[in-house]
Amino acid sequence: MAKNSSSSTIVPDTAWLGRGRHLGPEPEQDVRRNLIALKAAGVLDDFLDLDPVEAARSTVLHPRDESADPGPSARRLFEARWRVADDVTVRAQLTTYDPEARRKDGEGVIWVLVAEAERAWDAHWPSPATMFWPDSDQVAWDHDTVPGVRLRATNQLPKDDDELRHRLRDCTRRSWFIHVVVHEAMTPDALGQRPVSAFLPPSLRHRVVEHRATPEQAQIADFALKRELSVRMPRGGATVLPTTPQTQGYDAERFTVRSVFLDGTEPTELLDRIREFAALPRPLPADAEQALARLRRGWHLLTPEEELVHAQGMVTKYADALTAMTKSRDLYQQAAEAAQAALAEATGGNGVPRLPVPGPAGRDGGSPLGALTKAFGRFRDPNK
C-alpha cells in the first residue's frame, strides 16, 4: 500500500473508512467465519468472497472501469450488505493486501474497509469493522498501519524522545483513525486503564486510537506535541490530535481537555470533543478515495431489484450498440455501391479503362485517373 496522501475531496458524510493490519496467521479465514456467522444470524443480508483479479474483470456496474481494480498486491476482496435503522442499506467492501516489500516479516496483512449508507452515517449504527472482523480481543485485526499502535486498547507513548515525535508524526500523516493523547496524572488502576473509546458509540469506537502518557512523561509529551503539531497537553488532561493536512475547523484549544479522571467513569467532556472532531469535514486520503470509488463503481453484490435494473440497462446498451452497428453497415453498403457504379462508368462496364480523349495537355480528363475521379465526383454525397 502506498503512503497516505490527501486529495482535495472531503470524506462524504455517508461513508465509513478504516485501514489497519491483521497480525494473525489466517486473516481471510477470520473474515469468512464472521461473515458466515452473521448471515446465519440474520445480521447480514448477504456477502461475497471474491478473488481480486476475477472481481476486477467481472465488475458489474462499470465493467471497464479501472477504479474497480484493487491493485496487484490485493489478496482477497469481500463484500457485505446489511440494513440499519428504518431499512437503510449499507454496502461495504473489505480488501486484504500483502505487506509492502520493504516491511519486515511479522508486520501482518494490511486491510482497507470502506462502507457507505444510503443516508448520512449515524455513529450509533453497528461498526462496519465488526461486520467483517470478529469482535474479539483474541483476533488481532485491530492494529493501525502505524507500527506499535492498536485500536480497542491504550497505547503507551514511547519513552525515547525521538521515537515519540516519530510516532506522533506518523499517526497524524499516515493513519486514517482519530488519535487522542491522554496524560495519566497518576498511575491508574484496572478501571482507569480501560480505553476511553469504550464509552463511544459503536461506529465511532473503531475509529479512535488512544495514546497514554505516563505521569513522568508530562513534560516530554507536551514538548513533543508542541514542537510537532503545535498543540499542548495539560497535566492530567487530553488532546485530540490534528490531521495532516489539518482538518477544516480544527482549533487546538477547542480540542484540548484540561482534566480527565481515569477512574472508570465516563469522561464526558473528552467524549464530546471526540464526537465533535469526528463530525468535522475531513480531507479524503488519496488511497481512500480510490477505495471509495471501487465500492461505488466496482460493486458485485446486487439485490434482485438491482439485478433487474442492471439487466434492463444492459439490454438498452446492447440495443443502442446494435442500432449503431446497423447504421454503420448501411453507410458502408451505400459507399460500396457508389464505388462500384463509379468504377463501372469509368471502365465502360468491362473492367478495361477507357482510352483518354485527346485534348489540351495538362487536363485531368485526359487520363484514366481523371476519368475515374470525375465519375466518383458525381456519386459523392456532400453530407457524408
Alpha helix segments (H runs only) across the chain = 27-40, 52-57, 129-132, 161-173, 202-205, 218-229, 268-278, 286-297, 304-347, 368-379
The C-alpha atoms of residue 15 and residue 35 are separated, in whole angstroms, by 20
Residues 218 and 138 in one domain: yes
Residues 214 and 318 in one domain: no
Name which of 32, 4, 20, 31 is nearest 107 in CA terms: 20
Over 90: is that where the pLDDT of 315 sits?
Answer: no
Range of the domain at 355: 305-379
Residues 276 and 318 in one domain: no
User: What is the pLDDT at residue 102?
Assistant: 47
Q: Residue 1 domain-assigned?
A: no
Cell of 170: 506518523
Over 60: is that where the pLDDT of 87 sits?
Answer: yes
Mean pLDDT of 227-244: 95
The C-alpha atoms of residue 337 and residue 112 are separated, in whole angstroms, by 60
Q: Residue 30 domain-assigned?
A: yes
Over 70: is that where the pLDDT of 311 sits?
Answer: no
Q: Residue 369 domain-assigned?
A: yes
- Could you read off the pLDDT of 88-108 as tens digits, one per residue? 999 999 999 998 754 556 689
CB atoms within 10 A of CB 222: 20
Cell of 321: 450498440
User: What is the pLDDT at residue 32?
Assistant: 98
CB atoms within 10 A of CB 382: 4
User: What is the pLDDT at residue 347?
Assistant: 74
Residues 202 and 338 in one domain: no
> From edge to edge, which strands make up the β-sheet containing 88-97?
15-22, 109-117, 88-97, 74-84, 46-50
Higher pLDDT, 139 or 100: 139
Mean pLDDT of 224-248: 94
Over 80: is that where the pLDDT of 267 sits?
Answer: yes
Mean pLDDT of 371-379: 57
Q: 324: pLDDT confidence band, cut at 50, 70 and 90?
A: confident
Q: Residue 295 domain-assigned?
A: yes
- Could you read off the pLDDT of 180-225 as tens digits, one per residue? 999 999 999 999 999 999 999 999 999 999 999 999 999 999 999 9
User: What is the pLDDT at residue 199?
Assistant: 97
Over 70: is that where the pLDDT of 351 sits?
Answer: no
Residues 173 and 99 in one domain: yes
Q: Are 265 and 227 in contact (CB under 8 A)?
A: no
The C-alpha atoms of residue 127 and residue 131 are separated, in whole angstroms, by 7
Over 90: is that where the pLDDT of 330 sits?
Answer: no
The C-alpha atoms of residue 334 and residue 329 are separated, in whole angstroms, by 9
Residues 124 and 34 in one domain: yes
Cell of 288: 481512500
Q: Residue 68 domain-assigned?
A: yes
What contacts 222, CB < 8 A, 6 or more positions away?
232, 233, 234
The C-alpha atoms of residue 145 and residue 202 are separated, in whole angstroms, by 21
Q: Are 93 and 295 in contact (CB under 8 A)?
A: yes
Inter-axis angle of helices 304-347 and 368-379, to 10 degrees? 140
Q: 349: pLDDT confidence band, cut at 50, 70 and 90?
A: low
The C-alpha atoms of residue 119 and residue 84 are separated, in whole angstroms, by 11
265-275 burial, b at 16+ Cβ within 10 Å, e below that, comes to eebeebbebbe
CB atoms within 10 A of CB 321: 10
- Could you read off the pLDDT of 149-179 as tens digits, one per residue? 999 999 999 999 999 999 999 999 999 999 9
Q: Residue 211 domain-assigned?
A: yes
Residues 252 and 360 in one domain: no
Residues 296 and 322 in one domain: no
The C-alpha atoms of residue 336 and residue 376 are separated, in whole angstroms, by 12
Residues 341 and 194 in one domain: no
Over 60: is that where the pLDDT of 1 sits?
Answer: no
Residues 275 and 334 in one domain: no
The number of folded domains in the chain is 2
User: What is the pLDDT at residue 166?
Assistant: 96
Q: Residue 285 domain-assigned?
A: no
The C-alpha atoms of residue 149 and residue 340 are separated, in whole angstroms, by 78
Report CA Rg, the chain: 32
Over 80: is that where the pLDDT of 77 sits?
Answer: yes
Choosing from 233, 266, 301, the residue where a domain stops is 301
Residues 98 and 232 in one domain: yes
Choosing from 271, 301, 331, the residue where a domain stops is 301
User: What is the pLDDT at residue 239?
Assistant: 98
CA 12 → CA 9, 35, 52, 212, 367, distances in Å? 9, 26, 25, 31, 72
Task: Give percent of the chain above pLDDT 90.
Answer: 65
Q: Residue 78 belongs to what H/E stretch?
A: strand 74-84
User: What is the pLDDT at residue 2?
Assistant: 43
The C-alpha atoms of residue 210 and residue 240 are separated, in whole angstroms, by 9
Q: What is the DSSP string of 245-275?
A: SPPTT--TTTTEES----SSS--HHHHHHHH
Mean pLDDT of 319-331: 80
User: What is the pLDDT at residue 306?
Assistant: 72
Over 80: is that where the pLDDT of 275 sits?
Answer: yes
Q: Residue 224 domain-assigned?
A: yes
State the Cα angle at 47 between 42 and 49, rounded to 5°.
145
Residues 258 and 328 in one domain: no
